[in-house]
Amino acid sequence: MTPSRVRFRATPRRLASLAALTLVSALAVPVLSPSPATAATPLRTLAAAKGKFIGFAAATSPLAGEAAYRTIAQTEFNQVTAENAMKWESTEPSDNNWTWSGADQIVDFAVANNQQVHGHTLVWHSQTPGWVQGLGATAMRTAMQDHIATVVGRYASNPAVVSWDVVNEVFDENGGFRTSFWYNTLGQGFIADAFRYARAADPNAKLCINDYNVEGINAKSTAMYNLVQSLRAQNVPVDCVGFQSHLATQYGFPSDMRQNLQRFAALGVEVRITELDIRIQTPRTSAKDATQAQYYTNAVNACLEVTACTGITIWGFTDKYSWVPDTFPSEGAALIYDENYQAKPAYTAVHTAFGGSPTGDTQAPTAPSGLASSGVTAGSVNLSWTASTDNVAVSGYDILRAPGASGGSFTQVGTAATTSFSSTGLSAGTTYRYQVRARDAAGNVSAVSNTVTVTTTTGGGTGGGCTAAATVQTQWQTGYVIEPVRVTNSGTSAISGWTVTFTLPAGHTITGSWNATLTTSGQTVTARNAAHNGNLGAGGSTAFGFQVSRPSGNTSTASGFTCATP
């Protein structure tokens, strides 16, 4: 169960000058003699030269199955945190029944690639199995001690595993203790106990307390500061404080972050940015990308300016795998690579802040030409164009769209690595305009292509409607996977979107989904088509899937699947 996030209350600030700069670079094409592209220095080399780590939260399935994911993970980062694999529900799903495959996979990867591992997380109110939550005080304390001793003990002699989040998210937003099952059963003493058990299990590991919304100076971070001070005064082994830093461009950057890190450092602890991501309200635009890049710069600078800040972990690295869209409706694109593993301006920002030198390339690609449309349906159109050229190389294209045959403004609807793009999710019988521009690796952007105007078809009548059929693919004591949920267009005309609703039994929580966007309200879950699978011709079908965790021993599964258009 993910905790509900309280948004930053800071006034959103407009980084107008940055946005303006982006615009100018789109128009001005300085003609300089081509300079050879210098090989880009990876982030880990730059960070190490500054005495810091730069890490990522690892998801086990792409780490095992996707070469592109692995390549970036090992090339760019020198630190790893398991996004989920070391959490209690993953390592000890039932009492004294241990599962190490995911945790070991990540530790092995780190060892093979000379990366340090931060263990996350030992004592948390979330993603902890029901069997722990229901224990009485004595049994709960024993279970906690046993869990910490076993998990920390397993890796205590592995030099790659250097630190642990011992307790996570123990405060509420006002600076009181969160009334979690830990606190309610054991009182605040569980925090000191957890640190002492962890120290006993590994005397050398750095032991951390970790939380969110503590990046700036506020009631919550001050409560954390007071707790760390008092625990250390009692010789409780707290070595380190983690600032999650799940930030969002619309809530402003916590401008006193450096000052806040500094006051914790003065307590004698190490500080670190543990779960950095900076989400935007989708869709991406160049202006939002620029603001996000500025926030990444600010975060790296805050750590660089504080000697006791040992490094930064980004919560993932590619927008293809990020918890943000599943957790914050209509928000996403929070990471430094896009979903096609292309470096975003945020990557360049981190690179530059760590002292990376620009390639020296200031020459933009030529504008794409011959932009044309084909395959127009009620909800989609295919675009293709003639490639741009560049003194170094074209790294990709941005596709822009405006409503109607004239007027309105162009906003970016996607990126392409090749010279074609399929634009989906359009409304039937509606006119749109498209333009494309090219980018290079140094961030230079070409002038826009010619404009193509497209009117989608009307879809041929009102015989819409769809059906949804769900299959339980696999289940285990504490969860299950439903895959596929087959969505079929049962009507006689094309549809350009669909919505499937279903009911989750009490206590069940969605832990992941694919090929649809899920939002949960009470026990009702609404699954909307992803950008790529909303268009279904008459009789056509597609599928999505999701994973659920449930209380141990509960054998029910999600039910009542109903499909509607759009």
**Contact set with ligand XIL (CB under 6 A):** 2, 83-84, 168, 244, 275, 323, 511
Nearer to ligand XIL, 2 or 562 (CB): 2
Closest by CA to 318, choosing from 329, 331, 332, is 332
Residue 231: CB partners within 8 Å, gap ≥ 6?
191, 192, 195, 238
Closest by CA to 330, choosing from 291, 287, 280, 292, is 280
**In whole angstroms, how close is the CB of 221 to ligand XIL at the nearest point?**
16
Closest by CA to 122, choosing from 26, 205, 48, is 205
Question: β-pairing, 559-564 with 499-503?
Answer: antiparallel
What is the spatial distance between Cα 401 and Cα 368, in angstroms, rounded to a whole number? 15
What is the spatial distance between Cα 377 and Cα 495, in angstroms, rounded to a whole number? 10
- Tokens 């392409």 — which residue? 416
**In whole angstroms, how close is the CB of 190 to ligand XIL at the nearest point?**
17
What is the spatial distance between Cα 506 and Cα 508, in angstroms, rounded to a whole number? 6
Nearer to ligand XIL, 313 or 419 (CB): 313
Nearest 5°: the CA angle 118, 119, 125 is 130
What is the spatial distance between Cα 151 and Cα 501, in angstroms, rounded to a whole number? 39
Nearer to ligand XIL, 78 or 244 (CB): 244
Helix (H) / strand (E) containing 411: strand 411-416
Nearer to ligand XIL, 212 or 410 (CB): 212
Strand partners for 343: 337
Q: Which residue of the set 83, 169, 270, 483 is catalytic?
A: 169
Q: Is 275 a catalytic residue?
A: yes
What's phi and psi for 105, nearest 5 deg?
-60, -45
**In whole angstroms, how close is the CB of 244 to ligand XIL at the nearest point?**
6
Nearer to ligand XIL, 245 or 395 (CB): 245
The amino acid at 286: S
**In whole angstroms, how close is the CB of 460 to ligand XIL at the nearest point?**
41
Q: Is 215 a catalytic residue?
A: no
Residue 203: CB partners within 8 Å, gap ≥ 6?
none
Closest by CA to 121, choosing from 77, 63, 81, is 81
The amino acid at 230: S
Nearer to ligand XIL, 167 or 343 (CB): 167
Nearer to ligand XIL, 158 or 511 (CB): 511
**In whole angstroms, how close is the CB of 268 to ligand XIL at the nearest point?**
24
CB closest to ligand XIL, residue no = 323
**In whole angstroms, how close is the CB of 324 to ligand XIL at the nearest point?**
9
**In whole angstroms, how close is the CB of 521 to ligand XIL at the nearest point?**
18
**In whole angstroms, how close is the CB of 317 to ligand XIL at the nearest point?**
13
Nearer to ligand XIL, 121 or 529 (CB): 121
Residue 40: CB partners within 8 Å, gap ≥ 6?
351, 356, 359, 441
Question: Using the 8-state DSSP alphabet, how is residue 208 labeled?
Answer: E
Residue 243, classed as helix, strand or coil, is strand
Which residues belong to the active site?
169, 275
